[in-house]
Amino acid sequence: MSLDPDQQQAGPRTFQADFLTALFQDPLDPAYAQAAEAAKRRGKLPFWNRSARRLISWIVLAAIGVLLAVAYQQVVRSTPEREKVRAGLITRITAQKQSQATLAAEAERLQADVSRLREQVLGDPARTAQLRQLEAATGMRRVTGDGLVVRMTDGPDAATNKGHRLIDFDLQLVVNALWYFGAEAISINGQRLTAQTPIRLGGQTIYVGDTLVVGPYEVSAIGPPSLYDDFSKSDTARLYRAWQERPEHQFGFKVTKEDDLTLPAAVLPDLLYAKAPSASGTPTPSPSGGHK
Amino acid sequence: MIAVLALIGGIVAGVILEPTVPLALQPYLPIAVVAALDAVFGGVRAKLDGIFDDKQFVISFISNVLVAGVIVYLGDQLGVGTQLSTGVVVVLGVRIFGNVAAIRRHLFRA
């Protein structure tokens, strides 16, 4: 069956088979050409009809304008909203940090009270001294003394280069070396370490115990007079001094001798095995108990 | 001339009135904008070609926006919303580019 050209012309509309090809060749809607042709054949429309059509197209144009404005505003409006949420989160974080700091200070004060009261109850100076020694060794008591401070910083490109970032392992190495050389008390950025305090990585930040610490890291240690010399000559210190120069790390590493360091008490950990004796102690029969 | 004024008037009205878009319609706003741009550039091109037709323009705008919206809605329901939106944007984008190129040839003879 073949279409004769006249019939094709007279047909209402012809559709090309390949839509994409047509789209690329002539992006204009073919309906425009058809409408123009139809208008030519039909002649001019009456005036009112033409004006009505014109009016409607102006209304549509105005609608498009509103649409553009609304879409633009939508985009602009969503940006400060996100900022607002962020700022809200930041204020909440700072508030929580502050309350945590005050609570920690209160905990330390209470702990000092407890220690003082316990010493009063204990009475015996020898046992008090022993208790103090034990508390200092376990990190339950503030200690002062001479020692050293190790300052470690990330490399200059820590933000982009993973190799320039200090991780938990670096702090663990330094802390272990310090314990090895006889350090009696160690704190990282003011967080006292006990035998149970983990140094670990959470995401990209380092936690000492449950507290987040950020660089520059200051590892303070109190120990015997030989601590500084021993640590400065240790393999660990030499390794980090070497890495200071290496372009793939460039960590900052500095050991300084410091006198009269004061390290805070650690937060009392939850006791796992030891049990505190019950508050009232073993019940004692009252003098008149049972005797009427 | 009045058409341009109508467009600008619409933009001004949108800025001043600040109509709030219902949350359900917000995902369709970008697609509607692209469809509207296609209709506008098609209309300008037709005007320069001397074959502009008001009825054609109005119908092309309304059907563009509706079809684009329906495609995106369907895509969202089927779980391929982003891909279908991309398809709509590509097709309309090609048309916008082609029409703008034709407008450029009209205006600058280049």
The pTM of this model reads: 0.48
pLDDT digits (tens, 9 = 90+) for B67-89: 888 888 888 889 888 888 888 88
Cβ atoms of B32 and B68 closer than 8 Å: yes
**pLDDT tier for residue A1 given thresholds of 50, 70 and 90:** very low
Cβ atoms of B57 and B43 closer than 8 Å: yes
Chain A hits for B21, Cβ within 8 Å: 70, 74
**pLDDT tier for residue A95 given thresholds of 50, 70 and 90:** very high
Pick A65's closest partner by Cβ from B7, B42, B61.
B7
CA distance B23 to chain A (A): 11
**Number of cross-chain residue pairs from A and B with Cβ atoms under 8 Å apart:** 128
Q: Which of A126, A122, A214, A206 is nearest to A169 (CA)?
A: A206
Question: Domain A144-263 in CATH: superfamily?
Answer: Protein of unknown function DUF881 (3.30.70.1880)
Q: E-assigned strands of chain A?
A: 143-153, 185-188, 191-192, 199-202, 205-208, 211-213, 217-222, 252-263
Are B94 and A24 within 8 A, CB to CB? Answer: yes
Domain spans in chain B, listed from the N-terminal domain onward: 22-108
Interface check A110 vs B, CB under 8 A: no
Higher pLDDT pick, A66 / A279: A66
Q: What is the mean pLDDT of chain A?
A: 81
**pLDDT tier for residue A89 given thresholds of 50, 70 and 90:** very high
pLDDT digits (tens, 9 = 90+) for A21-79: 777 777 777 778 888 888 888 777 778 888 888 888 888 888 888 888 888 888 887 77
What are the backbone dihedrals phi and psi of residue B52, each rounded to the nearest 5 degrees, phi first?
A: -65, 140
Q: Tokens for B66, please give them.
A: 């509706």
Cβ atoms of B103 and B45 closer than 8 Å: yes
ipTM summary value: 0.84
What strands, in cross-sheet order, belong to the sheet with A185-188?
A191-192, A185-188, A217-222, A143-153, A252-263
Are B94 and A56 within 8 A, CB to CB? Answer: no
Are B51 and A32 within 8 A, CB to CB? Answer: yes
Q: In A, residues 56-85, which contact B (CB 8 Å cutoff)?
A: 56-71, 73-74
3-state secondary structure (DSSP) of residue B49 = helix
Task: Give span(s): CATH 3.30.70.1880, chain A.
Answer: 144-263
